[in-house]
Structure 1
Amino acid sequence: MSRTIWDAIEDATSRLEDTSESPQLDAELLLREATGLNRVGVFMRYGEPLPAAQDTLFAQLLQRRLAGEPMAYILGQRWFRTIELCVDNRVLIPRPETERFVELALGWLASHPGPCRAIDVGTGSGAIALALATELGKHRPDVQIVGSDVSREALAVAALNRERLGLRHRVDLVASDLLAGLRGPFDLILANLPYLRPDQRHPSTRREPPVALFGGPDGFDLHRALLRQARDQLTPEGLLVGEIDPAQGEFAVSFARQATGRPARIEPDLAGDARYMIVGNPE
């Protein structure tokens, strides 16, 4: 006799307790993926038998999660602000703290009318560039948005997301090592670059591409290179935002000032950690 949907969720929740911080949520999401039901549909059918074919698929998805594969890769999607992105192991999974880039960019643009060039350096899935374009909508057609990445595999994912969101006309995607070879200058440089040291490897990130995680011996190699490029590639009134390891805060500000000749400061994330390096004119 087939087990019920509720039995399947309960069993999966129990098995995921040592793997996931949200075992029941993961179990429900995997069940929804296997059955094609939405949240209400699952709730309404808790007591119904789970068809054998769907139970088999559910077991396969559960096994992937038990093996440590991130939910975003299993489901193939991740929400970022107002957009749903396709993600897989070619790109870093967008984090909630990275949404702050879009807020800072929108705030800066609100006080800077007129033509503007913005670039999302290390765009990965295209999260920052595509979210910014979506939220600007038709109100600021004068803002040119570029997403760049050294990984052509990542750019393929970004291109897929751009097509799904209907933003091909709005966001340019280019292969580039940071700003090298790009026609500048830019008014906004948004850079969610790798900043982990090799000794900061963690089981939770082992499925994500190392090139998107690790920034050299002290985690700051790519930021150094970008800041040196930004001296000539950032407009006089422009703004650069970078995400950093909180432990890098004081050094990051000092190096940014020296490399760019511009004011620099650190802005904390919601947890109070020194997370964002702000270089240039914040107003």
Structure 2
Amino acid sequence: MSADETAAPTVQLPSDATPRPVPNVQGLAPGTVRDWLNWAESELEATSDSARADAEVLLARLIGSERSQLRLRHEDAIEAATVLRYASTIERRKLGEPVAYITTRQGFWTLELAVDTHVLIPRPDTETLVEWALSLLPEKTSVARVLDLGTGSGAIALAIASERPSTSVIATDVSEAALDVARENARLNEVSNLEFICSSWLEGLSKSACDERGESSFDLIVSNPPYIAEGDSHLTELRYEPRLALTSGADGLEAIREIIRDAPAHLKAGGWLLLEHGYEQGSAVRSLLQAAGFVELETRRDFGGQERVSGGRKAGNESE
């Protein structure tokens, strides 16, 4: 096959000289899966630092394939209607829309989560928080009570609940739209040992959040709160994600301050508070935890080696 025959399939429209994907919606498009992946990669190279991966994820979603299986389908033909939809998703990605919002799915931990623009896209670095939380709940038969503040898609709460089925998990968010996404993710992943409550951090915990003694007390509180400073230049790159889940005051620490201030009243003696934060905020968060009386302060690093999660234990013994 000649080089011309392997080039990305296009059609010359009479109105201008710009080659575009074939517009017919009936039958097969010219070219193969490989050709269209190559075309999409070339389209995305100027705007994405993961052009090939983006191209593969978006096409795999459209044709109902796993990305890992695409290589086995490189020589397959592809429906013209699918190509048109693919071209549309590539245009959206070129404009900066995250792949997860285009596909409406994002992997996290062992779960596949539904996502939309009402929730933050779960990041792999947040798994650092999940790993730490699970190490504090070492037994799968644990009857501990866990609270996830600002749950968004439910990623953290669902990861913990799925790994510790005897643990009772409560997840809160101020956004009912976000809670709808989290509830759908609980259904999709068949996780039932958790409850969702609309609350601004710890303000709205009701009787449903209390234990059998009527106390709103937890063995572990976790949160990935907004921690980007208002006006931060990185917000432009995150423009598709909900601002409510991203920013928190002039220094990015307002939500963290509120959580640290109010958490002790809802933690059992000896209980832990774990907070995700920005890579330059570890020292500030440890200072806030210390000022609030937490002990055994620690910060753990994410997969990139950056300080990402800080936590501390409420002084005292659980038996006190």
Q: 1:152 aligns with which of 168, 172, 176?
A: 176
Structure 2 residue ranges without an equivalent (≥5): 1-28, 211-215
The structure with the larger Rg is: 2
Indicate conservation of the 8 Å contact 2:142/2:164, yes or no: no
Partner Cα separation in structure 1 for residue 304 and residue 232 of structure 2: 20
SS of structure 1 residue aligned to 2:310? strand
Structure with the higher fraction of residues in helix conformation: 1
Partner of 2:133: 105
Partner Cα separation in structure 2 for residue 108 and residue 130 of structure 1: 16
Partner of 1:74: 102
Give the CA deviation at 1:83.
Answer: 0.7
1:200 aligns with 2:236: no
Partner of 2:86: 58
1:257 aligns with 2:280: no
Partner of 1:176: 199
Q: 1:279 aligns with which of 312, 315, 320?
A: 312
Partner Cα separation in structure 2 for residue 239 and residue 118 of structure 1: 10
SS of structure 1 residue aligned to 2:121? coil
Partner Cα separation in structure 1 for residue 246 and residue 184 of structure 2: 22
Q: 1:115-194 to 2 correspondence within 5 Å?
A: 115-137=143-165, 141=166, 143-168=167-192, 170-182=193-205, 183=210, 184-194=216-226
Partner of 2:303: 270
Partner Cα separation in structure 1 for residue 305 and residue 314 of structure 2: 23
Indicate conservation of the 8 Å contact 2:170/2:196, yes or no: yes
SS of structure 2 residue aligned to 1:218? coil
Give, as a single letter, the amino acid of the residue that structure 2 aligns with 1:165.
N
* TM-score of the two chains, using structure 2 as the length reference: 0.81
Partner Cα separation in structure 1 for residue 39 and residue 169 of structure 2: 47
Q: Return closer, same or farther for 1:47/1:269 CA change in 2, 3 Å cut-off.
A: closer
Residue identity over aligned pairs, in percent, reads 37
Give the paired residue count: 278
Partner Cα separation in structure 2 for residue 112 and residue 125 of structure 1: 23
Q: Return closer, same or farther for 1:247/1:42 CA change in 2, 3 Å cut-off.
A: closer
Partner Cα separation in structure 2 for residue 237 and residue 175 of structure 1: 27
Structure 1 residue ranges without an equivalent (≥5): none
SS of structure 2 residue aligned to 1:47? coil
Partner Cα separation in structure 1 for residue 140 and residue 71 of structure 2: 48
SS of structure 2 residue aligned to 1:217? coil
Indicate conservation of the 8 Å contact 1:102/1:132, yes or no: yes
Q: Return closer, same or farther for 1:23/1:237 CA change in 2, 3 Å cut-off.
A: same
RMSD: 2.1
Give, as a single letter, the amino acid of the residue that structure 1 aligns with 2:226.
P
Give, as a single letter, the amino acid of the residue that structure 1 aligns with 2:180.
A
Q: Return closer, same or farther for 1:279/1:111 CA change in 2, 3 Å cut-off.
A: farther
Partner Cα separation in structure 2 for residue 2 and residue 116 of structure 1: 58
* TM-score of the two chains, using structure 1 as the length reference: 0.91
Give the CA deviation at 1:178.
Answer: 0.6
